[in-house]
Amino acid sequence: MLSLISSVYEIFLFRKRKQLLYRIDPRIKLLHLIFILATIVFVTNVYLQILILVYLVALTLIGADISRIWRSVKNMLKMLMLFYIVIYIVNAFPKLLDLGVAFQSFIAIFRFFMLIYCFSLFFTTTPLDDLTQALYKLGIPYHIAFTFTLSVRFIPTVAKDFITVYDAQRARGLELEKGGFLGRVRKFLALLIPVFIVSFLRVDRVAEVLESRAFGAVRRRTFLYELKIKLLDALFLIFSSIPLLLVIYLQYCLLSCVW
């Protein structure tokens, strides 16, 4: 559980770097993310899905921090393995061994892993302040864009609170890793209740701060640093879309051959 929370903390926490993806306009990265997600959903061939993963890894090596991305997704693998077992048992029951179901379950989990990888690559390279401005410039009302980015900003904060409470309860002698399933669930409440209380108090403070600053009084928003699409952004969108278009074309050819 703690490793899973640590992965969530790493996925949604931004740390500035000098690699390529950190310098790309958030609007371009958002369009690129939507294109990747659509490609993952459309492509069903396992070899083409592996090509998409290779593309994501190459993009990470070129434009992001590979060690940071790996830390953010590696602990998710345990959860995905558990999901794989559950999906296989549900689909294969009452058979004990079904290679076809095992393969299809692997494809579903592999696709879900790539979705996690894409979101990790996006949020670890995008400042939330720039994301708010990007959503606003795309036509989304500012209060909705601000609410979304504020919710994302709270995710690593809540994850950090969970880790702090976990360490505090262990220091007080609470054995969270021992006992049966029901016993662990009861002990887990000793973590959830303090985290919820701290989160509610923080939300109340944020509401008071927004009210004291007259949030929403002015409809037209201005920003200290205006986002502008540069030549680098256009070139990134063009060259990063070529491999995805090629994969989609190959998938279309495979479907045409089948029909």
Full pLDDT tens readout for the chain, 259 residues: 666 676 666 777 777 888 888 889 999 999 999 999 999 988 888 888 889 999 999 999 888 888 888 877 777 777 788 888 888 888 777 777 777 778 888 888 888 888 888 888 898 888 888 888 888 888 888 888 888 888 888 888 888 888 888 888 878 777 766 666 666 677 777 778 888 888 888 888 888 888 887 777 777 777 878 888 889 999 999 998 999 999 988 888 887 775 5
Look at the block and give the residue holding tokens 């669930």.
185
Phi, psi at residue 37, to the nearest 5°? -60, -40
At a CB cut-off of 8 Å and minimum separation 6, what does 51 contact? 243, 247
Residues 251 and 222 in one domain: no
The verdict on 112 and 166 lying in the same domain is no
Are 33 and 21 within 8 A, CB to CB?
no
C-beta of residue 155 within 8 angstroms of C-beta of residue 8: yes
Q: Is the pTM of this model over 0.95?
A: no
**Same domain for 7 and 92?**
yes
Domain assignment present for 66: yes
Residues 96 and 22 in one domain: yes
Rg of the Cα atoms in the chain: 22
Give the chain's domain count: 2
- Give Cα separations from 221 to 33, 146, 229 (angstroms): 26, 11, 19
Asked whether the beta carbons of 134 and 25 are under 8 A apart, the reply is yes
